[in-house]
Amino acid sequence: MVTRDAARDSDAAGLERAAVLGTGLIGGSVAAALRVLGVTVTGWDLDPTRAARAVEVGAIDSAASTVADAVVDAEVIFVAVPVGVTAEVVTTALAAAPHAVVTDVGSVKSGVVAAVEAVHGADRFVGGHPMAGSEQDGVDGARADLFQGATWVLTPTERTAAETFTRVRSLVAAFGAEVIALTPHDHDRFVATVSHVPQLAASTLMDTALSIATQHETLLRLAAGGFRDMTRIAAGNPAIWPDILTANRDAIVGALDGYLASLSEVRRMVADGDRAGLLTMLQRARHGRRALPVGAAKVDELCEFHVLVPDRPGVLAEITTLAGRQAVNIYDVELAHSLEGERGVMVLVVAAGAAADEFERGLRTLGYAVTRGTFE
């Protein structure tokens, strides 16, 4: 009998040394979470004073002065530098540590993943994005439990080796995060909608109010709780945004166009006095907001699928992104290679229930032979 926690402990226990490149809030928190699991962590940062500070606050065991020095003994490498330099640091790390698995934490994925896949060793890389904090805030706020209950996206592709995904997935799960696998393209489209456009909408709302408030300071005295809630993210550090807005330009422009079109339709309804139309939209939004998932889902029962798969990396991406699109959380994944080397069995553990049934149908639609095992 294998319990989830025991599985997590053993996954983490197999790891002795890791490297974290970029020791800000996210890198520092990853390092701290690794150290809680008993892993020795070497850190490096573009700015050596930040790496030194990470040692001081106890986030990393030691600081190295080059990427090569930091990764020399590492089995797993987390890259937590700003989006604009992530691809470069990842490829340097892959070359300097030819046996290590590498992942990153950047908030935009398509560009980084495409750049990395052009180089040798890309099967040892999987893109990642924990939905918590920012990679440019300081290490002083770092904590080992930052990812507890957070969603952590991984973006395996056809080039990603199953072992790479499994290793990173099990570590991230050991941090307490819920893992979802998505294609880099879907990830970027989704974060444009739930993160990048909301940031722009909030800042623009605040900025529009200011342009009136220049003449009438009173206006801001009238700003009650709703306005404060809506503009809270406008108070964050703007320095991270030019990189993100550049890296995810196409998805953001697409999502902004959708938002502008919807808002123009709302403007039309207000101007026309279309009370029924407005009420319908507001009720739909209310229903959606109330249904927004809060924290990690409670799972009472798990079920296990055994999937007969051809032994090639693309299969992993196909199956994990099917799960991601269906919002099925994969609690464990293991690829058992067959001795003949042509076929294998992929073991997937997911929450039991309607979603699992749909997932099973999806697997069959993709042409896989599936059997349902028991998990206890």
CA distance 61 to 323: 36
For position 220 contacting its own copies by CB under 8 A, the verdict is yes
Q: Residue 72 or residue 234: which is nearer to its own copies going by CB?
A: 234
Question: Which residues, numbered 309-368, are part of the site for its own copies (CB under 8 A)?
Answer: 324-327
Which range of residues in 62-70, 74-82, 159-167, 205-213 is near its own copies by CB under 8 A?
Answer: 205-213
**Residue selected from 6, 36, 212, 369 as contacting its own copies according to rule CB under 8 A:** 212
Enumerate the β-bridge partners of residue 41: 18
H helix count then E strand count, the chain: 16, 12
Q: Look up residue 291 and give its amino acid.
A: A
Pick left, alpha or beta for residue 120 (phi over 0 → left; psi -120 to 50 → alpha; otherwise beta): beta
Question: Which residues, numbered 139-158, are part of the site for its own copies (CB under 8 A)?
Answer: 150-151, 153
For position 293 contacting its own copies by CB under 8 A, the verdict is yes
Minimum distance from residue 323 beta carbon to its own copies (Å): 9
**Residue selected from 16, 229, 301, 342 as contacting its own copies according to rule CB under 8 A:** 229
Question: Residue with structure tokens 């029924």?
Answer: 276
Query: What single-letter DSSP state applies at residue 194?
Result: I
How many angstroms separate the first and last alpha carbons of the chain?
6
R_g of the chain, CA atoms, integer Å:
22
Q: Residue 148 or residue 193: which is nearer to its own copies going by CB?
A: 193
**Residue selected from 13, 36, 235, 366 as contacting its own copies according to rule CB under 8 A:** 235
Which range of residues in 16-24, 73-81, 286-294, 337-345 is near its own copies by CB under 8 A?
Answer: 286-294
**Residue selected from 2, 210, 336, 369 as contacting its own copies according to rule CB under 8 A:** 210
**Residue selected from 115, 281, 299, 370 as contacting its own copies according to rule CB under 8 A:** 281
* DSSP sequence for 94-111: HHH-TT-EEEE--S--HH
